């Protein structure tokens, strides 16, 4: 589906989405326009991705099928005001601005507008990681299908009510932190066991990749695989017992819970 897309904002968020869209051939460079106030940034986006990038993209906004709001939350009100009376009635307004609710967009543009709120995942560059999506009542099946295809450039999507966005931000968007931390701890453990840091890192990365692939492909519960590895009186059960004694699972759950509470307090 060929759609005309205008990005309001040409910063790192927008660039990451544009790069993924082009790499996965979900959109063509000729169908993308970026509205960016920094002329040097406009030149960079043009030269790097072949897209149109303008300080004033109001003309492109008038014909756009999708408007992507990709600016800092504090700038969103200014961007929304610039869209009033400009965008087509059937254009989809998709916001990736953190914390900006659909109601606040509808308040400025009108309750009859097609609005989608997205919380992207920081792992989008890898093609993995879920983005949370909430659609307002004006989004039809065709709009939804294209939006999901569009967001497929960033990885996987999960449709959630806005009331769950705080939990999603803490658990999924912040989720890679816990895995990075675990990887870092395992590398240190490998060094302590006698391996070079380089070799320990290589082994940890491949172990993490292998575990992720097996769980994804088989659908097995992680606990099932742990049980399989823990032979009676063996090496693995000894290590597992230490994790239980040290309160590993409890520490992770408490950490996630604190992040969720923080996200919902913002």
Question: Does 73 belong to an annotated binding site?
Answer: yes
Structure tokens belonging to residue 151: 């967001």
SS3 content of the chain, % helix, strand, coil (to 5): 60, 15, 25
Q: Cα(10)–Cα(68) distance, rounded to whole angstroms?
A: 10
Beta bridge partners of 95: 69, 117
Handedness of CA 23, 27, 29, 35 (dihedral sign): negative
Q: Cα(19)–Cα(41) distance, rounded to whole angstroms?
A: 15
Q: Residue 74's Cα: distance from chain center in Å?
A: 20
Question: Does 70 belong to an annotated binding site?
Answer: yes
H helices of 76-196, in order, are 76-83, 102-109, 141-151, 165-168, 175-193
Question: Does 29 belong to an annotated binding site?
Answer: no
φ, ψ at 239 (rounded to 5°): -65, -40
Dihedral of CA atoms 92, 48, 26, 115 in degrees, nearest 10, equals -10
Contact 17, 96 (CB under 8 A): yes
Q: Cα(152)–Cα(226) distance, rounded to whole angstroms?
A: 32
Closest residue by Cα to residue 244 from 223, 259, 258: 223
Binding-site residue ranges: 70-73
Binding-site residue ranges for NADP(+): 70-73
């Amino acid at each position: 589906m060929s759609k005309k897309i205008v990005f309001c904002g040409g910063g790192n968020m927008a660039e990451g989405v544009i790069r993924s869209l082009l790499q996965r051939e979900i959109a063509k460079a000729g169908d993308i326009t970026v509205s960016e106030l920094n002329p040097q940034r406009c030149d960079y986006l043009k030269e790097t991705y072949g897209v149109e990038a303008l300080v004033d993209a109001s003309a492109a906004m008038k014909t756009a099928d999708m408007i992507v709001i990709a600016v800092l939350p504090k700038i969103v009100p200014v961007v929304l005001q610039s869209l009033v009376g400009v965008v087509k009635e059937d254009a989809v307004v998709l916001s990736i601005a953190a914390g900006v609710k659909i109601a606040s967009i509808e308040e400025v543009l009108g309750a009859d507008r097609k609005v989608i709120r997205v919380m992207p995942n920081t792992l989008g560059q890898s093609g993995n990681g879920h983005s949370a999506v909430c659609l307002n009542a004006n989004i039809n099946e065709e709009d939804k299908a294209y939006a999901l295809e569009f967001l497929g450039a960033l990885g996987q999507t999960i449709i959630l009510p806005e009331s769950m966005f705080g939990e999603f931000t803490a658990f999924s968007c912040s989720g890679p932190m816990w895995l990075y931390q675990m990887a870092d701890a395992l590398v240190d453990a490998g060094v302590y066991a006698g391996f070079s840091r380089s070799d320990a890192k290589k082994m940890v990365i491949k172990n993490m990749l292998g575990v992720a692939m097996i769980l994804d492909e088989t659908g097995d519960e992680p606990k099932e695989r742990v049980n399989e590895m823990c032979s009676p009186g063996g090496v693995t059960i000894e290590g597992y017992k230490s994790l239980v004694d040290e309160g590993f699972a409890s520490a992770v759950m408490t950490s996630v819970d604190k992040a969720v509470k923080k996200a919902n307090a913002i």
